[in-house]
Structure 1
Amino acid sequence: MSHHDKPIITVLTAPGEPEPPGIDAIRARGEVRLAWDEETLRESLPGTRVMMVTDFRTDALEAAWSTADRLEWIHATSAGVDALMFPALIESDVKVTNARGIFDRSIAEYVLCTMLMFIKDFPRSMRLQAGHKWKHRDTERAEGREVLVVGAGSIGHQIARLARSIGMNPHGIARHARTDDEDFIAVHANEQLFEKLEVADFVVIAAPLTPQTEGLFDSKAFAAMKDSARLINIGRGPIVNTDDLIKALNKGEIAGAALDVFEEEPLPEDHPLWDMGNVILTPHMSGDFIGWRRALTDQFLDNFDRWHKGEELFNNVNKKLGYAGS
């Protein structure tokens, strides 16, 4: 490919969303077309060789897919690619990469924060402070607590590293067991999930949404957990059956939950989770550090340089599995 041949790059954003910061650096390397729905995609996809997707209501992409005549590579500016995985794309030769790595540390800091908030009873302290009530309590210690990270990918490793740094014992769950992991005490195979749930003080969901993980945390999983355990979900909302979670919290089957993702987003204003004292809620923001949008563009540009030179891309997603990695 000659350097005079400026490839066409389509950037799919949400309607009304501003252009990604740093897009001028992309314009310097190719012809940039912007799309935000099926109609604009149908106009921009013919001739497009590369896509950068910042919006994941992908029914538009699936609907306009037949117009993608030269597409070679789609880059998703998120770690989770579940919303992109429609059959025609999975079956195609189009490569998919993701934003693995950008949000790992930030999400791990969020998880550490929520674990410590539970351990030191901070949500209650903040409620008492709001009510001007002085109420001394004894609280828990983090040291020696068992943490089970479901999904031992790059985010899971950062969570384990930070948990370990304050004396907690992190174990992982992944497709294959590993004993030689530097961050986890051990990584166990998926089949061992339930026996590991029985001993965990904190269960952290850091798995991608796949047909195997959808609805994985249901009444059966909560019944297996210790009644003193807390659930933290920074993965995807549908991995947890929300109705079963609410029942488990109300029955005291588990002690609390910190949730950044939900089956329905935004969470409806009248949803029972808002008013539960043992639940910490955030609006899908655990990874979003100040400056993350520009960091995503820079990561895309690094990979674009490799594509332009005909080199192997990094963060290749295994489309059959639905995530980057083996």
Structure 2
Amino acid sequence: MIASEFPVLAVLCGSAPPPDMAAIEEAAVVRYTDARGLPEALTGAQGLFVYDFLSTAVPGAWHAAGDLRWLHIASAGVDPVLFPGLVESDVVLTNSRGVFDDAIAEYVLCVVLAFAKDFARSLDLQRAGTWQHRETERVAGREVLVVGTGPIGRSIARLLRAAGLRVSGAGRRPRTGDPDFGTLHDSAQLTEHLPAFDYVVAVAPLTEQTKGMFDAAAFAAMKPSARFVNVGRGELVVTSDLVAALRGGEIAGAALDVFDTEPLPGDSPLWTMPDVLLSPHMSGDFAGWRNTLVEVFAANFRRWVAGEPLHNVVDKRLGYVPSESQGAAG
């Protein structure tokens, strides 16, 4: 049991509180707040639930977090809260790893099929009332590189393999014989491997090493017929280089669910470029996902108050949950 029978929990949630918090409210003093009120809510709080997972308010309120022992973010990516003050502190960081894996994998399969079967052009022709017969591509046997080998990447690999695609991965530790990817390439030598693939899927966590990894050199290394899919973080991509690669025919298309600036500015050329599929950061957002995020937090909250090891503990130096580590002392 933690020191106080009723711990103080700050919840950063913007204008709307999370659903299904009744059980937590019975076991803690819960302070709901938006970004402006976060310093006051953090004063004396032992826990922080960052439900508004796109908020960048935590670093600016960190001066008030003197009693904080645990921070949980309602997303798989932790880059909005991974700043030096947290990294250097003793505060345990956990995330919502596992919630979005299958939904994002379904999205990736969807856009792969959309490219192969030319769905976007079919819809344009339908709206124009034009009957135009065309031939499309098979996906079976196509080569896919999934850059990012955590649970989301593995779910993507399994689903694409089931559809007949041949999938490899790229991560920090290259090896062969992986159960989901077969071959894992070294992401530090990414451009050496890109020429072999028909689809390249970005799902790596955002770290200093991965920021801007898809730049002019990466796109130039891809096949002219390759399609690029980003369901990781917008900052993995140098957007101007992607636009130039699409305009210059260095790659054949892109499906983008995340962007370095969100919402995507209205004057971005990506809105109107052919062979570009856009969605507003929603690839993992299935019906009921908000409730599931609270369930994941509530399960860890019960472990925390009981002094049990927490699940999904992030290695703050790496920026993600190591595959071999699921928990740590609360």
TM range (shorter): over 0.9
Residue 111 of structure 1 is aligned with which of 95, 104, 108? Answer: 108
SS of 2:176's equivalent? coil
Alpha-carbon distance, 1:190 to partner: 1.7
Residue 92 of structure 1 is aligned with which of 89, 104, 107? Answer: 89
SS of 2:210's equivalent? coil
SS of 1:148's equivalent? strand
Q: Retained in 2: the 8 A contact 1:35–1:41?
A: yes
Distance 1:250 1:51, change over 3 A: same
SS of 1:164's equivalent? helix
Q: Retained in 1: the 8 A contact 2:2–2:307?
A: no
Counterpart code for 1:5: E
Residue 257 of structure 1 is aligned with which of 242, 254, 259? Answer: 254
Per-residue CA deviation, residues 166-202 of structure 1 (Å, 9 max, x unaligned), is: 1101100010013232111211222342222011100
Q: Retained in 2: the 8 A contact 1:79–1:100?
A: yes
Does 1:63 find its partner at 2:60?
yes
Equivalents in 2 of 1:237, 1:219: separation in Å? Answer: 15
Residue 22 of structure 1 is aligned with which of 20, 23, 38? Answer: 20
Q: Retained in 2: the 8 A contact 1:119–1:142?
A: yes
Residue 155 of structure 2 is aligned with which of 146, 154, 158? Answer: 158
Q: Retained in 2: the 8 A contact 1:145–1:169?
A: yes
Q: Retained in 1: the 8 A contact 2:53–2:74?
A: no
The more displaced of 208-217 and 102-111 is 208-217
Q: Which residue of 1 aligns with 2:328?
A: none
**Consecutive unaligned residues in structure 2, runs of 5 or more:** 324-330
Alpha-carbon distance, 1:70 to partner: 1.6
Q: Retained in 1: the 8 A contact 2:196–2:222?
A: yes
Counterpart code for 1:277: P
TM-score normalised by L of structure 1: 0.96
SS of 1:183's equivalent? coil
* 1:146-185 correspondence to structure 2 within 5 Å: 146-185=143-182
The number of residue pairs the alignment matches comes to 323
The more displaced of 170-179 and 198-207 is 170-179
Residue 313 of structure 2 is aligned with which of 296, 313, 316? Answer: 316
SS of 2:192's equivalent? helix
Equivalents in 1 of 2:50, 2:4: separation in Å? Answer: 25
Does 1:6 find its partner at 2:6?
yes
Distance 1:42 1:63, change over 3 A: same
SS of 2:114's equivalent? helix
Q: Retained in 2: the 8 A contact 1:169–1:185?
A: no
Equivalents in 1 of 2:97, 2:269: separation in Å? Answer: 33
Equivalents in 2 of 1:3, 1:214: separation in Å? Answer: 40
The more displaced of 136-145 and 27-36 is 27-36
Does 1:292 find its partner at 2:289?
yes
Counterpart code for 1:228: S
TM-score normalised by L of structure 2: 0.95
SS of 1:317's equivalent? coil
Counterpart code for 1:30: A
Q: Which residue of 2 aligns with 1:222?
A: 219
SS of 2:217's equivalent? helix
Alpha-carbon distance, 1:59 to partner: 4.6
SS of 2:46's equivalent? strand
Alpha-carbon distance, 1:3 to partner: 9.5
Alpha-carbon distance, 1:315 to partner: 0.5
SS of 1:263's equivalent? coil
Does 1:31 find its partner at 2:32?
no
Residue 72 of structure 1 is aligned with which of 69, 72, 85? Answer: 69
Equivalents in 2 of 1:87, 1:3: separation in Å? Answer: 27
Q: Which residue of 1 aligns with 2:38?
A: 41
Alpha-carbon distance, 1:60 to partner: 2.7
SS of 1:42's equivalent? helix
Alpha-carbon distance, 1:58 to partner: 5.1
**Consecutive unaligned residues in structure 1, runs of 5 or more:** none
